[in-house]
C-alpha cells in the first residue's frame, strides 16, 4: 500500500488540492448566501418597522387617516394632516425600497389621500420606488383624482 501511495503521490496531492479548492469555493459561496440572507432579513425587518411606525401614528391620530382636506379646518389640523401625508409618503418610499411585497398595504393607506397627494405633489419629485407604487393603481394615482372644487 505504501508503495502505491509513493507511486501516486503527485496524483494524490493534485486531488487533495482540487478538493481543497472546491471546499474553498463552496465556503465562499456559502458565506455570500448567508450575507445575502441576513441582508434580506434585515430589509424585511426594517420594512416592518417603518410600516409599524406608520400604523402607530395612524392609531394615535385616526382623524388624519380619514381627513377631508377640502373641508374647512383649523390651521393646526391642516398642518397635522400635511405632515401626516408626508410621513405616509416617506414611509411608503422607505418600505417599498426595502421590500416590494409591501405595495398592496401601502396602496391601501395612500388611497384616501389620493386627491391631496395629486394636488400637492409632482410624482417626479418622488423616489422611483414610490413613483412605481403611485403608478400601481389601475389607471394611475392622479388620473382619477378630483380637485376640491370638482367633487
Long-range CB contacts (within 8 A, 24+) of 46-50: 46/94, 46/98, 47/94, 47/95, 47/96, 47/98, 47/99, 47/102, 50/91, 50/94, 50/95, 50/98
CB-based contacts of 135, cutoff 8 Å, min separation 6? 123, 141
Greatest mean pLDDT among 5-9, 71-75, 79-83, 129-133 lies in: 79-83
Has residue 138 got a pLDDT over 50? no
| Top-confidence residue, 87 or 133 | 87
What is the model's pLDDT at position 134? 77
pLDDT in tens, 70-116: 888 899 999 999 999 999 999 998 888 888 888 888 888 888 888 88
Domain boundaries, the chain: 2-150
Q: Which residues contact 12 (CB under 8 A, 6 or more apart)?
A: 5
Q: Kindly state the average pLDDT of the residues 108-136.
A: 81
What does DSSP assign to residue 111? G
Number of continuous H segments (helices) and E segments (strands) in the chain? 7, 0
Q: pLDDT for 29-55, tens place per residue?
A: 999 999 989 998 998 899 889 999 999
Amino acid at each position: 500500500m505504501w508503495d502505491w501511495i509513493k507511486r501516486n503521490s503527485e496524483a494524490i496531492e493534485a486531488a487533495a488540492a482540487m478538493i481543497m479548492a472546491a471546499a474553498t469555493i463552496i465556503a465562499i459561496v456559502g458565506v455570500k448566501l448567508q450575507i445575502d440572507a441576513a441582508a434580506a432579513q434585515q430589509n424585511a425587518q426594517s420594512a416592518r418597522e417603518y410600516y409599524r411606525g406608520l400604523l402607530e401614528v395612524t392609531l394615535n391620530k385616526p382623524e388624519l387617516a380619514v381627513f377631508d382636506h377640502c373641508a374647512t379646518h383649523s390651521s393646526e389640523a391642516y398642518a397635522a394632516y400635511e405632515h401626516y401625508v408626508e410621513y405616509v409618503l416617506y414611509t411608503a418610499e422607505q418600505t417599498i425600497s426595502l421590500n416590494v411585497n409591501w405595495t398592496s398595504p401601502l396602496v391601501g393607506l395612500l388611497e384616501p389621500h389620493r386627491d391631496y397627494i395629486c394636488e400637492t405633489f409632482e410624482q417626479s419629485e418622488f423616489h422611483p420606488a414610490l413613483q412605481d407604487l403611485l403608478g400601481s393603481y389601475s389607471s394611475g394615482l392622479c388620473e382619477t383624482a378630483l380637485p376640491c372644487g370638482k367633487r
